[in-house]
Amino acid sequence: MVLGAGFGGLAFVKAFPRDLARITVVDRTNHHLFQPLLYQVATAGLSAPDIAEPIRALVRKRPDVTVLMGTVTDADFERRTLTVDGRPSAFDLLVLAVGNRTSYFGNRSWAAFASGLKTIDDAIRIRRSVLHAFERAEVVDDDREREKLLTVAVVGGGPTGVEMAGALAELQRRVLARDFRRARLRSGRVVLVEASDRLLSPFPEKLSRRALEQLRSLGVQVLLGQRVEDVRDGELDLGETVIRAANIVWSAGVTTTDLVHDLPLRKDRGGRIEVAPDLSVPDHDGIYALGDAVVLRDAAGVSVPAIAPAAMQMGRHVAAECARRIRERDTTYGNGRPFVYRDKGYMATVGRSRAVARIGRLRFSGFTAWILWLTVHLAFLAGFENKLSVFVKWIFSYVFYRRGARVIHGIPDPSTRDGVPACETASRHSANQDST
């Protein structure tokens, strides 16, 4: 049984030999999400279905795979039973590939004022709220209020924060500016706040500086070494200064899902699951964990990063391990082949013709890195029937500076704040299994 149909869970299923066992994939949603492009849905470049493919369609040709859409409410490792939406479901082997969720460092109240970016609903909520704020800026009379409506703050200078800030600046200053008459969108602000002294900390320092230059050339105001003290409605409190912003996007941290939090597993301080070198979970025979939810130094001593390629490599590794175990009827655990991470590099796009990339020892920035980014992401969308549609949209937005998904729907209820209906508040376990 596989929990989570993100990059890791799906790689497991694809790599697991056909008809060797019955596989059940459980996910809270009905789709595999291409999360690296989620920021483009949030900034109206792509539509949600462009980057989401039904899990059932992805495993259509595998009659040995069953897909269950549901939320895991309980897991009993001793009885080897999972409870999905109240229904018990037995397993022999379990693969935890549940990803993680947005973390507000213990300040859960901030979630109401700063949206994370982990799910399609997050992306659509941000898109609606940002576009709606600009629409209100067009009619409002008060200058101070208009300034606030035209300001977007992004917290966290990792890849998501950088990509989000760059895309927001382009949306505001290039794409939308020509369409508004009264609100001067070019005078709007995108502020990126990072607590450490540089952006993109996993990248080489030179590329961090390049990303900073590229963001600034787009008009993004980058604040380094600034900690968030408090988040209030439309206000980001940095202690000495307070940024007034109608929209605040939170990409500053992730933590374990509630399900993992409740499970009796060894975890590090960040709540990530500690696994044996073969990715099995210590003290629990036949349970594996992989992807963003685990913390691991691989056999070569490399700390495995929480990115899609690493999750996919782990998924394939666990598939090979489980298959071997079943074939050899091996029931002793913890002694499997150790996982070795093959580092292929990192990349992040900042905007049109702007990106940074490290591939092996090579470093790229600017147009070359951007073309690399486009190529790699289109290649990885393979299996997505929407690849061609995404390609067409990218060409259009490059040539015409357009964004095809500028649709405000899910009309905000006036009784709630800035377009976030009260009923969107996440319930207890609902953040589980958001595959990464």
Q: How far apart are alpha carbons 28 and 35 in whole angstroms?
A: 15
Could you count the other beta carbons within 10 Å of the beta carbon of residue 262? 15
Looking only at residues 208 through 267 of this chain, which bind its own copies when binding is defined by CB under 8 A? none
Kindly state the DSSP code that residue 52 receives in the 8-state scheme: E
Query: Please, what is the minimum distance in Å from the beta carbon of residue 364 to its own copies?
Result: 30
* Residue whose CB is less far from its own copies, 117 or 231: 117
Among 8, 10, 25, 29, binds its own copies (CB under 8 A): 29
* Phi, psi dihedral angles at 238 (to 5 degrees): -105, 20
Kindly state the DSSP code that residue 7 receives in the 8-state scheme: H
Q: Does 352 bind its own copies (CB under 8 A)?
A: no
Kindly state the DSSP code that residue 175 receives in the 8-state scheme: I
User: What residues are paired with 222 via a beta bridge?
Assistant: 192
Q: Does 367 bind its own copies (CB under 8 A)?
A: no
* Residue whose CB is less far from its own copies, 145 or 278: 145
Cβ(405)–Cβ(44) under 8 Å? yes
* Residue whose CB is less far from its own copies, 73 or 221: 73
Contacts with 190 (C-beta within 8 Å, 6 or more apart), sequence order: 151, 152, 153, 154, 165, 168, 169, 172, 219, 220, 221
Among 114, 120, 236, 310, binds its own copies (CB under 8 A): 120
* Residue whose CB is less far from its own copies, 268 or 385: 385
Give the range of 113-121, 161-169, 239-247, 251-259 binding its own copies by CB under 8 A: 113-121
Q: Does 353 bind its own copies (CB under 8 A)?
A: no
Q: How far apart are alpha carbons 406 and 384 in whole angstroms?
A: 22
Contacts with 47 (C-beta within 8 Å, 6 or more apart), sequence order: 41, 404, 405
Query: Please, what is the minimum distance in Å from the beta carbon of residue 38 to its own copies?
Result: 12
Q: Report which of 256, 2, 235, 13 is spatially closest to residue 118, judged by C-alpha positions.
A: 256
* Residue whose CB is less far from its own copies, 177 or 359: 177
Query: Please, what is the minimum distance in Å from the beta carbon of residue 143 to its own copies?
Result: 16
Q: How far apart are alpha carbons 30 and 356 in whole angstroms?
A: 33
3-state helix, strand, coil in the chain (%, to 5): 35, 20, 45
Task: Annotate each residue in 162-191 with x if it binds its own copies (CB under 8 A) or - if it does not, as one string.
Answer: --------------x-xxxxx---------
Q: How far apart are alpha carbons 120 and 40 in whole angstroms?
A: 11
Q: Does 131 bind its own copies (CB under 8 A)?
A: yes
Among 83, 221, 353, 430, binds its own copies (CB under 8 A): 430
- Residue 274 known to be catalytic: no
Q: Does 404 bind its own copies (CB under 8 A)?
A: yes
Choose, from 163, 170, 194, 321, the residue flagged as catalytic: 163
Q: Put residue 173 in one of left, alpha, beta given phi > 0 → left and psi -120 to 50 → alpha.
A: alpha
Q: How far apart are alpha carbons 174 and 398 in whole angstroms?
A: 11
Query: Please, what is the minimum distance in Å from the beta carbon of residue 284 to its own copies?
Result: 26
Q: Does 60 bind its own copies (CB under 8 A)?
A: yes
Query: Please, what is the minimum distance in Å from the beta carbon of residue 390 to its own copies?
Result: 9
* Residue whose CB is less far from its own copies, 48 or 359: 48
For the purposes of burial, counting CB atoms within 10 Å of the CB of 79, is it exposed (0-12), middle (13-18) or buried (19 or more)? exposed
* CA dihedral sign of residues 377, 193, 201, 198: positive
Q: Does 87 bind its own copies (CB under 8 A)?
A: yes
| Count of chain residues binding its own copies (CB under 8 A) | 63
Among 209, 224, 267, 396, binds its own copies (CB under 8 A): 396
Among 20, 90, 340, 422, binds its own copies (CB under 8 A): 422
Binding stretches for its own copies (CB under 8 A): 28-31, 44, 47-50, 52, 54, 56-57, 60, 63, 66-70, 84-85, 87, 119-121, 124, 131-132, 135, 138-139, 176, 178-182, 385-386, 388-389, 392-393, 396, 400, 402, 404-411, 413-414, 416, 421-423, 427, 430
Catalytic residues: 163
